[in-house]
Amino acid sequence: MSTTLIRGGTVVSSTGRTDADVLIDGELVVALLAPGSTLLGHDLASSVGAVIDATGKYVIPGGIDAHTHMQMPFGGTEASDTFETGTRAAAWGGTTTIIDFAIQRYGERVEEGLAAWHDKAGGNCAIDYGFHQIIGGVDEFSLKAMETLVDEGITSYKLFMAYPGVFYSDDAQILLAMQKAADLGLLTMMHAENGPAIDVLAEQLYNQGKTSPYYHGIARAWQLEEEATHRAIMLADVTEAPLYVVHVSAKQAVEQLAAARGRGKNVFGETCPQYLYLSLEEQLGAPGFEGAKWVCSTPLRSREEGHQAAMWQGLRTNDLQMVSTDHCPFCMKDQKEMGIGDFRAIPNGIGSVEHRMNLMYQGVVTGEISLERWVELTSTTPARMFGLYGTKGLIAPGADADIVVYDPAGHTSIGLDKTHHMNMDYAAWEGFEIDGHVDTVLSRGRVIVDDGSYHGSAGHGSYLKRGLSQYLI
């Protein structure tokens, strides 16, 4: 097995930073050493197979994006990134693990949906991957199937309070699933929006001739996110099931999470880069059909109402624990364009898996979060929340050598003709400038990105059987 020494850098964890050299043997970290350590009186660098110079740079654990949707069917089409293209793009941006969603829909068996996602991902991923399980039809069969998820290494599952007729679960179904999850130790992930009410508002807007992408955000009003978040919290309280609310975008929803956590409840929330930087007015309200580029659910919120500032505050106060992407990209041509003249038909999703680590580092530069919190939000907490910590989410002896060498003096310009490797015909983050740069990325000890070149390959990524959450009270 090959040995690698990363020397001269500052190793950053969720709890601090230290100048240290990192010794890797094969796929694992074997030691953190004082800078310039010797072996039997000789320079250690002369005794290893490869040396990576990290002088003046940060050495951080590889990013974990715990919310992606590669090749996800939606609205008569399919997300444009395959597991191969999506994980390659993730690697370019310093993400070394994704957790995607296997899907069971009405009329399907959970086992069939899970098998289909294994078929899609197996042998195609450039980085390691795991699955959550979407339960799109809560009934006696799916409840029984939940009992086998832990054995499959799937310790979290997702329900939807939105999308009636597709994924929607009513309160009785949610209650039953949460009761089962509480018994099994599964973490319930919730898309918290009042779907039936949204559908009524969307139809009314369409009938009034309000059909542009902007009205996607109006139909999915913040009140309907707050209401659903509160309802999910109450159902979790009744069942004593841990709850993780995905893609939180409304400041009022954060307030509901904060109140529940203040009562000592096992309630958690994630937000996404789009809810930190983008807005209803600027993006969804772009001229013509341009706003379709940023149609996602939950939707972008009004900057004037302070939702973006509230997301950053929630990340600082730990009322929000993680930043994932909800990566679900669609091209404009032949996909987003399906909704010309009817915002309801625009496939919901934004492509961000390549840019999350950089976008969150920019929050360090602007003073929104600390350097340590950056690592915590993007790597350490995802590992703990979803049963990967110890092998992922840290740089320590025995951990997988998933490591990013990040240059704070570098620069990254985001754009379709610049740094863009996702399978999309536009860049949702076009024109964003980042005061930092991903220089080198290692996945289980193998250099897969270095000096502006890609060295990874489809099939390198392994399926991760996850343990139970290590983040519960």
CB 393 within 8 A of CB 383: yes
Question: Does an H or E element contain 119, and which?
Answer: helix 110-121
Number of neighbouring beta carbons within 10 Å of residue 408: 15
What is the residue type of 177?
A
In degrees and rounded to multiples of 5, residue 39 shows phi and psi of -125, 115
What is the residue type of 106?
Y
In tens digits, the chain (473 residues) has pLDDT values of 599 999 999 999 999 999 999 999 999 999 999 998 877 667 888 889 999 999 999 999 999 999 999 999 988 899 999 999 999 999 999 999 999 999 998 888 999 999 999 999 999 999 999 999 999 999 999 999 999 999 999 999 999 999 998 999 999 999 999 999 999 999 999 999 999 999 999 999 999 999 999 999 999 999 999 999 999 999 999 999 999 999 999 999 999 999 999 999 999 999 999 999 999 999 999 999 999 999 999 999 999 999 999 999 999 999 999 999 999 999 999 999 999 999 999 999 999 999 999 999 999 999 999 999 999 999 999 999 999 999 999 999 999 999 999 999 999 999 998 879 999 999 999 999 999 999 999 999 999 999 999 999 999 999 999 999 988 75
Q: Scanning the structure block, which residue is given the tokens 């951080």? A: 60
Burial class (CB in 10 A: 0-12, 13-18, 19+), 367: exposed
Residue 245: strand pairing partners: 190, 269
Number of neighbouring beta carbons within 10 Å of residue 397: 11
List the domains of the chain with CATH numbers: 3-60+392-454 (2.30.40.10), 62-385 (3.20.20.140)
DSSP H helices, 43-94, are 83-92
Residue 259 to residues 20, 233, 265, 301: CA-CA distances in angstroms? 40, 10, 9, 21
Going by C-alpha positions, the residue among 471, 189, 181, 95 that lies closest to residue 318 is 471
Q: Which two tokens stand for residue 132?
A: 């959550």
Distance CA 149, CA 137 (A): 16
What is the residue type of 270?
E
